[in-house]
Amino acid sequence: MDIRGEVVLITGGGSGLGRAIVERFHAEGARIAVLEKSPSKAGALRESHPDIVVVEGDCSRLDPNQRAVDETLARYGRLDVFIGNAGVWDNRTGLLQLEPERIGQAFDEVFSVNVRSLVLGARAAAQALLQSRGSMIFTLSNASFHTGGGGPLYTASKHAAVGLLRQLAYELAPAIRVNGVAPTAMASDLRSPDSLSRQPARDRPVDPASREAEIAAMLPLNFYPVAEDYVGAYLYLASRTAARVCTGSIIACDGGIDIRGIRPASGVAPA
């Protein structure tokens, strides 16, 4: 894809899908900036890629988002793509498993990362993207469209992110394209917030390695995705030429979940 020289700011770029995006975009010649909450992950990025901008901070707060944009502009003089990628999971904690006295905190923690950070990051980046006529790309989920990929908090937050994406695509056209990528399960270190760390989950906590066969069987394409499998969709949407006609679009990279219907994992239709 033709992204050489483009300036790309990524939230949550220190590990998992975010790190895969960083590596691929860097290899394709983009100039990279990252907003990363974890000091250790930020340090590892600086060590492996001394040429990229790494800002430590919480993407669910405005100041770190603005600082990341400011440092990106100070280094590169422009911003072409904002990728709102940071996210948290709810461990598929069901409504009846949520301790009533902790629901408010859990809601705030999930929505602050999965929704509020997108609003704040988009607002911080908007003026620079207006100048460059650039684009935004949000990381969504199969849970943005389907039930069962999380509990009520995660699923609601990812549905909300779809509404945000569509509204921003409407408001910011024609100057800024706003699109999304909706992956399914993958090998990553997606975490749950502190308020849910002691909640009894319906399923065991995120442990992708131990669930490889289970996830592969769940997908009609019958393989266990890794983060790198999804990066091509981001490259496409970031391209000014290849995705010129795309705004308000979401690429569902779900391994075929949307066509699964009520068929069992074996793919044999019920009688």
Name the residue with tokens 């699109």.
179
CA distance 104 to 46: 36
Catalytic residue among 154, 224, 230, 234: 154
Q: Can the peptide bond before residue 205 be classed as cis, meaning omega within 30 degrees of 0?
A: no
230 is catalytic: no
**Sequence-distant (≥ 6) Cβ neighbours of residue 206 within 8 angstroms:** 89, 91, 188, 189, 190, 191, 192
SS3 label, residue 257: helix
Give me the residue label for tokens 């990524």. 10
Closest CA to 102 of 114, 90, 87: 90
Please say whether the beta carbons of 109 and 150 come within 8 A. no
Q: Give the residue numbers annotated as catalytic, written as ranges.
A: 154
